[in-house]
Amino acid sequence: MRRFHPSPEARYQLLCFPHSGGSASFFFPFSQRLAPDVDVWSIQYPGRQDRGLEANVPHLHELADRVVEAVGPRLESPYALFGHSMGATLAYEVALRLQAGGKEPEALFVSGRPAPHRNVDTGLHRLLDEEIAEDIRALDGPGSEMFGDADVLRMFLPAIRSDYHAAETYEYVPGRVLKCPVRGFTGFSDPRVEAGEMHHWGDHTEGSFQLDVFSGGHFYLVDGQEEIAGEIERTLCGAGRG
């Protein structure tokens, strides 16, 4: 966990899960915006930034188990989870495990990712290196302009390919349902998931489901983090909660 703005007196803890190839620092703006009412814990996957020498984990269920092992004992406040793209599925799996262990989340926020039972292997993880680079540039994600540099590509590609493998080979396990509300966020022109597809997340909770659609593509939240953080804050800290 990376805590960029530690807020030990916060009313809520928010576990944030990055996208494929992403790192904990992606959620630095969330952390800055939500402190001190919400203590943001951004998950740093193996194989990137300060964990660059560690082996990547190309399987979501294994990664979920490892997150729960690391995070579960340290949860002290009511908490929620937020995940973008691959991170949404991972956040869902972590939420299920924590709920089964008696630590039910207040809410799950999912962004830019089909519901678990709608996962499809599109073969991205089997593409050639340059084809993966082209896919990343097409999504216009953070730092995507650097992937025209061969040295940069060699540095980041192993983590990206591993995460693509984890996301595309993920196997949904039926019969498990969350009790907490689920809120979905997505970009109107996201090539990874149509807005209507996001409604299937409602099948995975006994609680309420709400979807908000923003302008932009797969990385709509880069420019909209302030607005999305505000929605998270209102959901957790608004009237009737806490």
Q: What is the dihedral of CA 201, 127, 215, 185, to 10 degrees?
A: 20
Q: Are 59 and 85 in contact (CB under 8 A)?
A: no
Q: Which of 85, 111, 162, 165 is catalytic?
A: 85
Q: Which of 19, 125, 204, 218 is catalytic?
A: 218
Residue 140's closest CA among 220, 85, 194, 23? Answer: 220
Helix (H) or strand (E) holding 36: none
Residue 131's closest CA among 99, 153, 100? Answer: 153
CA dihedral (36, 37, 42, 43) positive or negative: positive
Question: What are 77's two structure tokens?
Answer: 């406040």
218 catalytic residue (yes or no) = yes
Q: What is the DSSP letter of 31?
A: H
CA–CA distance from 10 to each of 5, 41, 157, 237 (Å)? 11, 12, 37, 10
Q: Are 190 and 217 in contact (CB under 8 A)?
A: yes
Question: What are 225's two structure tokens?
Answer: 């983090």
Hey, which residues are catalytic here? Answer: 85, 218
